[in-house]
Amino acid sequence: MPAATETVQQAAVADFRYTPPPAAATARRILVKPNLGYPVGPPVTVGMPVLKAVLTGLRQVNPSAEILIVEGVCSPVPLSEIADRLGVRSLLDEGMQLLDADQLPQAEYPNRLPSPTRFASLWAPRLLAEVDCRITVGTLKQTNLQSSPLISASLKNLYGLLPRDRYKARSSHSRGQLHRPSVPLVLRDVWGCIGHLFDGAVVDGSWRYISPDWKPDRAKAGQWLGQVIWGEDPIAVDRQACRVAQFEEPEYLQTLAQWRQNLLTCPPS
């Protein structure tokens, strides 16, 4: 587990200059997981100015690293077409690649939490364990699932790394098995299996975006916030993002913050 710090930074979108975690400076390969799951621009997906600033910051501290942009979509539209529509390819230099998470070799990641909610392990790209630095770049959204608000930020963004063919339910385009018993509860397992591996997190808080239902691409607009929140710990970053947007902080973030502290204080033998 990266030795993440609770320090969280915040800046206006126009002033955002990404400060990567220390691991990025010496990494041979860096994995960036941006929220690009839908063929729709901000606030549904990460804005290109924010993603560009992240990639620029990484390249400035490490000119020679291979930077792998990895996403698994939740749409019938393939990642290659989404990338073309959103303008992702224009941000990439010769040392950067765009990879579809669903098409990568998979590995099983054990859950480090003392009491898993549902999953004792989760499958995700094997690449996640092979790179030297991992960054999650999420968007700030609230959907309504089972009549309860669900906050999506850097941690929920990791759903896109979990293979649809393994976790699909009624729809082959989504990961329905990860919605039971509830997304907030399963997010604990997501952090316990793969979230703790991440060295850094960024939340595009350009908008305070609220969807009328469970689909994050339904709302037509949001309230402009114009902020970016980032740091080394996805849990701390998401908690600060909730404060910035004046969203009620989800209980799972509070629980994970305590569990993370316990794991850091008493690491497994």
Tell me the pLDDT tens digit for each residue of 158-191: 999 999 999 987 776 678 789 888 888 999 999 9
Query: Quick one: DSSP state of residue 91?
Result: G
Confidence of residue 146 (pLDDT cuts 50, 70, 90): low
Per the listing, tokens 């997981």 go with 33
CATH number of the domain at 9-265, please? 3.40.50.11440
Instruction: Give the closest residue to 247 by CA, choosing from 123, 107, 150.
Output: 150
pLDDT at residue 2 is higher than 70 = no
| Model pLDDT, residue 52 | 98
Tokens for 30? Answer: 């860096």
Per the listing, tokens 């929920």 go with 156
Per the listing, tokens 């968007």 go with 139
Please list, in sequence order, all residues whose beta carbon lies within 8 angstroms of the beta carbon of residue 171, skipping any fewer than 6 positions away.
none
**Mean pLDDT, the chain, whole residue set:** 90
| Model pLDDT, residue 179 | 86
| Model pLDDT, residue 4 | 55
| Model pLDDT, residue 268 | 47
75-117 residue pLDDT tens: 899 999 999 999 999 999 999 999 999 999 999 999 999 889 8
pLDDT at residue 1 is higher than 70 = no
238-257 residue pLDDT tens: 999 999 999 988 888 988 88
Q: Give the domain ranges of the chain.
A: 9-265
| Model pLDDT, residue 60 | 98
Percentage of the chain with pLDDT > 90?
A: 69
Confidence of residue 10 (pLDDT cuts 50, 70, 90): very high
| Model pLDDT, residue 264 | 58
**Which phi and psi (to 5°) does residue 80 adopt?**
-60, -40
Per the listing, tokens 């979990």 go with 162
| Model pLDDT, residue 236 | 95
C-alpha span between 238 and 256 (Å, rounded): 11
| Model pLDDT, residue 228 | 98
Tokens for 203? Answer: 């939340």
Instruction: Give the closest residue to 224 by CA, choosing from 245, 242, 241.
Output: 245
How long is the chain?
A: 269
Per the listing, tokens 């991992």 go with 134
Q: What is the mean pLDDT of residues 133-149?
A: 84
Confidence of residue 223 (pLDDT cuts 50, 70, 90): confident
